[in-house]
Structure 1
Amino acid sequence: MKHIQSAKNPQVKQWKKLLTKKEREKTHTYLIEGFHLVEEALNHKDEVVELIITEDTNLPTSWDLSNIPLTYISPEISREISDTETSQGVFALCEMKKANISSLENKKYLLLDAIRDPGNLGTMIRTADAAGIDAVILGKGTVDLYNSKALRSAQGSHFHLDILAGDLKEWIDRLKTAGTPVYGTALEGASSFKEAEPGQTFALLMGNEGNGVSKELLELTDQNLYIPIYGKSESLNVAIAAGILLYYLRA
């Protein structure tokens, strides 16, 4: 057990660097914050490097902290490394999980093309988890999975799914070869989502908040779908649309 009091401590400076994507990618580590996320991390202890606790913070007695290094910090340091306005004072340093998709057959996938908003990314990961999706593939231009807002929005679901970055063209080809139907999403030249056949295996492709799925990728799918708009809104939020389609497509 360690105690750090000064915000000028080199360890504190390193933690602060992890608020940047560059440092996270360099070290393959990231910080999470808050009781719920830390508790989820402790359910996957092999990914937890260290727990960082603000002094006088009471931890749940149900937490299994065996073999987890603990570092206690001052409230000043907590404010330095927090990415929220009102920190709960509980952090965990975690290692990035390496996805392991051993077989492509008979699984459900969510493919994301250039999702820019971290809140949308996290919400879609959380929804995919709830819908029983097996893997999420992050295409080019998609915001960093370990962005703090994305992690908060995912609410720990990134611990439950295989999530990896990849070339969506290659993934669509691989999935179709494996017999997995691939559904794109579009506003024009598409069928109502209710015309799709729910199944035990599928891949759903969602696109950028402003531009949607790229035309190049839409030309590779088996079928492109849209969700009818009955009111005056021009479109649905991409995370809401993903939730509707994921739950409809799964058998």
Structure 2
Amino acid sequence: MNKIESIKNERIKKWKKLHTKKGRTQANAFLIEGKHLVEEALNASWEIEAILYTEEMDFTFSGETISVTNAVIKELAMTETPQEVIAICKQHPVPERRNADGIFVLLDGVQDPGNVGTIIRTALAANASGIVLGEGTADLYNDKVVRSTQGGLFHIPIFRGDLNDWFDFFAEIKKPVYGTALKHAVPYTEVKTSQAFALVVGNEGVGVQEKWLERTTRNLYIPQNVKAESLNVAVATGILLYALKK
């Protein structure tokens, strides 16, 4: 049985670099924390480099397992109350865009990791076919994004890249693309439900960029009490996904 007791161990120092985007990119890896996320990764047959634990695991893993101290877990964890298990996962390559059946969610500069993770989790729940993380969107493997997905990132195709390519693609196959905006938009209730569409949601402060709103099939808004502040982007995404899908 492998065992690591010191936070000065070279492997622990290497894995701690995964706390930063630069470190994750260079190592092509990221950390997940807690039994639930580890089990979700295993259920999805996600590639895992190693699992570190302080208590005996009650799930099966055929790869490397390492018994560690609480101090080591605390060193690698990014939560205030670390859990008893951490896994080092390999990043998946961006999947190939084979088709565009079903529902897609495009994120235009959504910066808050919690919002990005919640949108991924919600899209999976709504049986979306894929998610596209556009320029300026939070890193998929940011620990807050990963935690907020509650394992959802392991079960749905997640693309990254230029949204312009996706607009061209959807235009070519005549797939409707709905933007989210307050001006020059119609209530979402005016759109017929469908099994195939794309929804573009935008930055928490400025919304979807005008250049994308000019290319949508239609731009939509959610009617609300005039005294209420604008809805959180993740909440709005959930409302629209379920309202628009057949």
Tell me the TM-score normalised to structure 2 length.
0.97
User: Would the alpha carbon gap of residues 138 and 102 (structure 1) be closer, same or farther in structure 2, given more than 3 Å must change?
Assistant: closer
User: Would the alpha carbon gap of residues 91 and 247 (structure 1) be closer, same or farther in structure 2, given more than 3 Å must change?
Assistant: same
Which runs of 5 or more residues in structure 2 are unaligned? none
Q: Contact 2:178/2:200 (CA < 8 Å) preserved in 1?
A: yes
Of 239, 243, 247, the residue aligned with 2:242 is 247
Of 56, 60, 67, the residue aligned with 1:64 is 60
Of 151, 156, 179, the residue aligned with 1:156 is 151
Q: For residue 103 of structure 1, report the CA deviation from its aligned partner.
A: 2.7
CA distance in 2, matches of 1:103, 1:122: 24
Q: 1:215 aligns to what? A: 210
Q: What is the correspondence of 1:21-36 to structure 2 with a 5 Å cutoff?
A: 21-36=21-36
Q: Contact 2:95/2:159 (CA < 8 Å) preserved in 1?
A: no
Q: Contact 1:105/1:179 (CA < 8 Å) preserved in 2?
A: no
Q: 1:106 aligns to what? A: 101
Hey, which bits of structure 1, 4+ residues long, moved more than 6 A?
Answer: none
Of 58, 78, 81, the residue aligned with 1:83 is 78
Of 133, 136, 144, the residue aligned with 1:141 is 136
CA distance in 2, matches of 1:182, 1:14: 43
Q: 1:174 aligns to what? A: 169
Give, as a single letter, the amino acid of the residue that structure 1 aligns with 2:8. K
CA distance in 2, matches of 1:168, 1:102: 13
CA distance in 2, matches of 1:101, 1:204: 20
Q: Contact 2:116/2:145 (CA < 8 Å) preserved in 1?
A: yes
1:25-57 Cα shifts (integer Å, max 9, x gaps): 111110100111011011123421211112xx1
Give, as a single letter, the amino acid of the residue that structure 1 aligns with 2:89. C
User: Would the alpha carbon gap of residues 106 and 164 (structure 1) be closer, same or farther in structure 2, given more than 3 Å must change?
Assistant: closer
Q: Contact 2:188/2:222 (CA < 8 Å) preserved in 1?
A: yes
Aligned partner of residue 31 in structure 1, secondary structure: strand
CA distance in 2, matches of 1:198, 1:122: 25
User: Would the alpha carbon gap of residues 209 and 202 (structure 1) be closer, same or farther in structure 2, given more than 3 Å must change?
Assistant: same
Q: Contact 2:175/2:196 (CA < 8 Å) preserved in 1?
A: yes
Tell me the TM-score normalised to structure 1 length.
0.95
CA distance in 1, matches of 2:234, 2:43: 26
Count of residues in Structure 1 that have an aligned counterpart in Structure 2? 246
CA distance in 1, matches of 2:2, 2:16: 18
Aligned partner of residue 45 in structure 1, secondary structure: coil
Sequence identity (%)? 46
Q: Contact 1:114/1:207 (CA < 8 Å) preserved in 2?
A: yes
